[in-house]
Structure 1
Amino acid sequence: MARDAPGQNGTETERKLPNLVTIVGRGVPSNYEITVDGEIEMMNADHREEATIISGGTVEGSIEVGVQRYRFSGQMANVRLVDWNGIEAPDSPSTPAVNIEYGAAKR
């Protein structure tokens, strides 16, 4: 396993994908689609089980409870959230909460 050079902040992935988006389930099955104008990668999970990466910049997945995190480069282009009834945010209070943090690797 390679180590970062002394004095550098963050891992190679954090430098390549410096931004963070967090999806928080609210106890109701929901679907989401995230599109960025760069690349996006799921953190700490097997994307084949938890989400489907459609292309380098788009992720589609589902969540009921818990947290799913993605690192990405570029800017957020679109976030679409839909609850189990097909009602989109912000009309449904059951859709997941989304937090977007730019420059998350700089901590």
Structure 2
Amino acid sequence: MSRNTSVQNATGGSDPDRLPNLVTIVGRGIPSNFEIAVDGEIEMIADDPVSEGTVVSGGAAEGTIEVGVQRFRFSGQMANVHVVDWNGTEMSESASTPEVHVDYGVATR
């Protein structure tokens, strides 16, 4: 079982009351890029955020994924999701792009 720690913003840790929503990106074995934006705050949940190669700033996060899962807690509403596979084909046109799951009002797991 892995331990989850959050990439922390200046305001502190990943408090489910402050960041009650969750977005999960699931890789499908093909290198892909993602960008997610929310109209509130966003923080990445990861064992080693630096090794994930994901940039989180303000209400946006962007990075790459091939296999595995990347999770983010956020406040507000999802504003935008943009996912492309290794050759730039967008989510709706490629079965290889990662799955994106958005859950509102979930407790920390």
| TM surpasses 0.5 | yes
Q: Which residue of structure 2 aligns with residue 8 of structure 1?
A: none
Q: TM-score, normalised by structure 2?
A: 0.81
Bigger Rg, structure 1 or 2: 1
Cα distance in 2, alignment partners of residues 40 and 106 from structure 1 = 14
Instruction: Compute the RMSD of aligned alpha carbons.
Output: 1.8
1:60 counterpart residue number: 62
Identity, % of aligned pairs?
64
The structural deviation recorded for 1:15 is 1.1
Structure 1: how far apart are the matches of 2:48 and 2:36? 17
SS at match of 2:46: coil
Change (3 A) 1:105 1:80: same
**TM superposition shift of 1:98:** 0.5
By how many angstroms is 1:13 displaced?
Answer: 1.2
- Residues of 2 paired with 1:97 and 1:79: CA distance? 11
Paired residues, what number? 96
Query: How many angstroms apart in 1 are the aligned matches of 2:64 and 2:102?
Result: 18
Matches within 5 A, 1:1-107: 13-50=15-52, 51-53=54-56, 55-105=57-107
**CA-CA distance at 1:59 after TM superposition:** 0.2
Query: Do the aligned partners of 2:14 and 2:43 also contact (CA within 8 Å) in 1?
Result: no
TM-score of the aligned structures, taking structure 1 as reference length: 0.83
- Summarize deviations over 1:7-59 as a string: whole Å, max 9, x none: xxxx9611110000000000000000000000000012333331111x21000
Following the alignment from structure 1 to structure 2, what is the Cα–Cα distance between the partners of residues 106 and 86? Answer: 33
Higher helix share: 1
Q: Which runs of 5+ in 1 are unaligned?
A: 1-10
Q: Structure 2 unaligned segments of length 5 or more: list them.
A: 1-12
